[in-house]
Structure 1
Amino acid sequence: MRCEDVGSHPDFRHLSTVAPVAVDLRYATPNNFVGHDLYGTLDCAWLHRLAAEGLERAADLLAREARGHRLLVLDALRPHRVQIQLWDFLEGTDLRQYVADPARGSIHSFGMALDATILDPRGRELDMGSGFDEMTEMSHPVLEARNLAEGKLTRDQVANRELLRRAVAHGGFGGIDNEWWHFEMLDRQHVRRTFTRVD
């Protein structure tokens, strides 16, 4: 299915219907590792309805645990055509571990993954110790204990990441080893076999 047709498909929900989350899709701006807007006129502020319901549950838990804080969605539905652009941009580098191979398909392209962080009551992003799409070991959740012990991450930064993980886990999302901001729902192979990929 083409991204242009998502709005008429009953399996997808627009992020504007998910309160009280904030949205700043970084691939719709130059503020990303490629350095330019990849979405153009495409509206990519969508999730599969199951993921949207999970995002609502995550937002509810965050509101209870950290009054005044909100989830900020940095990416949601990512069309397969854009995934190809990201993969091609990193050709010849050792950074492709941070981008799903289009030959397998990104879970983002099924609307079942999101990238997120947390805003404080003043609307500022919490300090996570590295930036969104920062392709370094500082971004790896699996290395947090080591980075904390070596003084590369602070206790507050790790606590902020843990708060984010608790919230999205309550919504049914799981994280990955090398990106603190990325979360997805259900088994990847199941999603790729049974859900609709958006091109």
Structure 2
Amino acid sequence: MIKQGLVDIQKLDPTLLVDLKYSTTDNFVKKDVYGELEKAYLQPDIARKLLRAHSLLKTSHPDLRLLVYDAARPNSVQYILWDALDGLRIPEKQKPQYVANPAVGSIHNFGCAIDLTVATTKGAPLDMGTPYDFFGPLAYPRMEQQMLNQGKLTRQQVANRAILRKAMTQAGFTVNTTEWWHFDGMSRAQAKARYGIIK
């Protein structure tokens, strides 16, 4: 990662919390697919945006911190995640809704996307209504009002998501419509034009 110009985000801001889900078994694949990769890396310009988001969060909520679940992801891992969807019986046409096709590359594969939540200073994640990597409408930001109206999400869960979203969008990230935890620092086309894919 470092040889490709990416930076360890905790070296830039030690108060950022990191729990890389794909270097644990706490993910939808149920196994460690990252191996020795245990730190969160991003392209330097995306890392600066993240630091800005963290600063905004700490200013508005001094008792909260950003907790990073995934950052730069090798494309080799993208293939593992893509193939794992078959075991979950996700229809082929719906697969890109949850995992980017590795042949094209996820924005994660260029070091320009991040998955994260908000946690207490002690590292306890706020209740967002679903776990990380939840597949379904309950995780969709675009469905929150409907889920709230149906009583499937609480006002507090939606408010917690809003805290995360506000800090991230104010820092220049864009929201993913089907994953409350995923934010892009730039488009895939921009990332591809500017950076090489991480093998």
The alpha carbon displacement at 1:75 in A equals 0.2
| 1:133 aligned onto 2:128 | no
Q: How does 1:87-106 map to 2 (within 5 A)?
A: 87-91=82-86, 92-94=89-91, 96=95, 97-106=97-106
Distance, in Å, in 2 between the alignment partners of 1:73 and 1:18 is 14
Cα separation, 2, equivalents of 1:64 and 1:143: 29
User: 3-state SS of the aligned residue for 1:180?
Assistant: strand
CA contact (8 A) 1:15 1:45 kept: yes
| Stretch deviating more after TM superposition (24-33 or 39-48) | 39-48
Gaps of 5+ in 2: none
Q: Does 1:31 align with 2:26?
A: yes
2:151 matched residue in structure 1: 151
- One-letter amino acid of the counterpart of residue 63, structure 1: K
- 1:64-79 to structure 2, matched below 5 A, reads 64-79=59-74
Question: TM-score if structure 1 supplies the norm length?
Answer: 0.92
Q: 1:183 aligns to what?
A: 183
Q: CA deviation at 1:139?
A: 0.3
Q: Which moved more, 1:43-52 or 1:111-120?
A: 43-52
Hey, what's the Cα distance between the residues in 1 that align with 2:188 and 2:55? 25
Equivalent residue in structure 2 for 1:17, among 11, 15, 34: 11
Contact 2:64 2:121 in 1 (8 A): yes
Q: CA deviation at 1:93?
A: 1.9
Matched AA of 1:184: D
Do the aligned residues in 1 keep the contact of 2:129 with 2:157 (CA within 8 Å)?
Answer: yes
Match of 2:75 among 77, 80, 94: 80
| Structure 1 unmatched ranges of 5 or more | 1-5
2:18 and 2:127 map into 1 onto residues whose CA distance is 18
* 1:50 aligned residue: 45
Question: 2:35 aligned with 1:40, yes or no?
Answer: yes
Alpha-carbon separation, structure 1, partners of 2:112 and 2:137: 25
Give how far 1:193 is off: 2.7
Contact residue 53 and residue 171 of structure 1 kept, 8 A: no
Q: Point out 4+ residue stretches in structure 1 off by more than 3 angstroms.
A: none
SS of equivalent to 2:62? coil
Q: CA deviation at 1:7?
A: 1.6
- The alpha carbon displacement at 1:42 in A equals 3.0
User: Is 1:163 equivalent to 2:157 in the alignment?
Assistant: no
Q: How many angstroms apart in 1 are the aligned matches of 2:38 and 2:144?
A: 34
Q: How far apart are residue 44 of structure 1 and its match?
A: 5.0
How far apart in 2 are the matches of 1:43 and 1:119? 19
Percent identity, aligned pairs only?
41
RMSD of Structure 2 on Structure 1 (CA): 1.3
Number of residue pairs aligned between Structure 1 and Structure 2: 193
Deviation at 1:191, TM superposition (A): 1.3
